[in-house]
Each structure stands twice: as structure tokens, then as C-alpha cells.
């Protein structure tokens, strides 16, 4: 299974790249985590935010394959505990479809991205920096897969 993390923003700090890379590498096995970065347009004082958000959304959706199960990461989405995420991921693995996880930019996800989503996932009711979300998603996917594989990483 391919899990494509489509995230707004480029040129992340080294700690983000290292943290994400650590968990993406650990995932291994039958699952591959791929990061696709979408450039975020400059938001000047007179910027048309609606137009910028729509353009970002179109760039994100252009990186989603038609058969992929699309997950929008939104603060108002469904929260999952770690065992719940593992069960959810097990169902996705059984379906045999690749996943696309969409992480919006500073103004969130475009309406088109939210409409295309098959599922809306909230990591937390809190708002996090976009770079940190990449690491958190990779770590939680690794943790969920560790549960499914019977690996002792998750000890809660």
C-alpha cells in the first residue's frame, strides 16, 4: 500500500525533515509513505486568500490518484485513538486501495479537498504547525502499523 502525504509547504526546518524521515523509513514492509510537498503562495497584504486557497487545493488534488482513498486532516474531523487508528488502517489495507492524506496550508484545506475526502481525520482539537503535523502523522501511522504487526513499539 502507498500512503501519499500531500502537504502544503516546502523548505521545512531540518528537524521536520529528520523526524518525518525517521518514521517514514521505519514504516517499511508492505506500506510505503511518500511525501508530496505543495508550494504555498505568498500571502501579501492584498492577497486574494480565497483564490490562493483554491489554487493550492487544485495543486493538491492534482497529486491524488482517482482510486486513492482520500483523508483530509482537519481540526473538526473525527478523532481516533491509537487502537482505533490501527483498526481503521487495517480496514484500508483489506480494501487494497492506496491512501492520500491531505494537510492544508496556513488557511487550511480548500473546499474542493474537503469535498473529495472519503474521511476527515483530526489529530487533535488543537492546531499544530504544519511541519509538526507531518511528523505526527508519520509517527502515528508507524505506531498503528506496529500494533497490526505485533511489534512492541506501542505499549499503552
* pLDDT (0 to 100) of residue 48: 87
Q: Distance (Å, rounded) from C-alpha 8 to C-alpha 27?
A: 22
- List the domain boundaries for the chain: 2-149
- How many CA atoms lie within 13 Å of 50's alpha carbon, on the beta-carbon side? 0
What burial class does residue 132 get, using C-beta atoms within 10 Å of its C-beta: 0-12 exposed, 13-18 middle, 19+ buried?
Answer: middle
Q: Low-confidence residues of the chain, pLDDT below 70?
A: 156
| Residue 138: partners with Cβ closer than 8 Å, 6 or more residues away | 5, 19, 20, 22, 23, 24, 27, 33
Backbone angles phi, psi at 108, to 5 degrees: 85, -160
State the maximum Cα–Cα separation within the chain, in Å, rounded to a whole number.
53
pLDDT at 92: 97
| CATH no. for 2-149 | 3.40.1280.10
- Residue 152's pLDDT is 87
User: Which pLDDT does position 22 carry in this prediction?
Assistant: 98
Q: In the prediction, which pLDDT does 156 show?
A: 65
Amino acid at each position: 500500500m502507498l500512503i501519499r502525504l500531500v502537504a502544503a509547504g516546502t523548505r521545512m526546518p531540518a528537524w521536520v525533515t529528520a523526524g518525518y524521515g525517521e518514521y517514514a523509513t521505519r514504516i517499511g514492509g508492505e506500506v510505503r509513505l511518500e511525501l508530496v510537498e505543495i508550494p504555498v503562495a505568498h500571502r501579501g497584504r492584498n492577497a486574494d486568500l480565497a483564490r490562493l486557497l483554491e489554487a493550492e487545493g487544485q495543486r493538491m488534488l492534482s497529486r491524488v490518484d482517482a482510486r486513492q482513498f482520500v483523508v483530509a486532516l482537519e481540526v473538526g474531523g473525527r478523532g481516533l485513538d491509537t487502537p482505533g487508528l490501527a483498526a481503521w488502517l487495517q480496514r484500508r489495507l483489506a480494501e487494497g486501495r492506496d491512501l492520500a492524506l491531505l494537510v492544508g496550508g496556513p488557511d487550511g484545506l480548500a473546499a474542493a479537498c474537503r469535498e473529495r475526502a472519503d474521511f476527515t481525520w483530526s489529530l487533535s482539537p488543537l492546531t499544530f504547525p504544519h511541519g509538526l503535523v507531518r511528523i505526527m502523522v508519520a509517527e502515528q501511522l508507524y505506531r498503528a502499523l506496529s500494533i497490526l504487526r505485533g511489534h512492541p513499539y506501542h505499549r499503552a
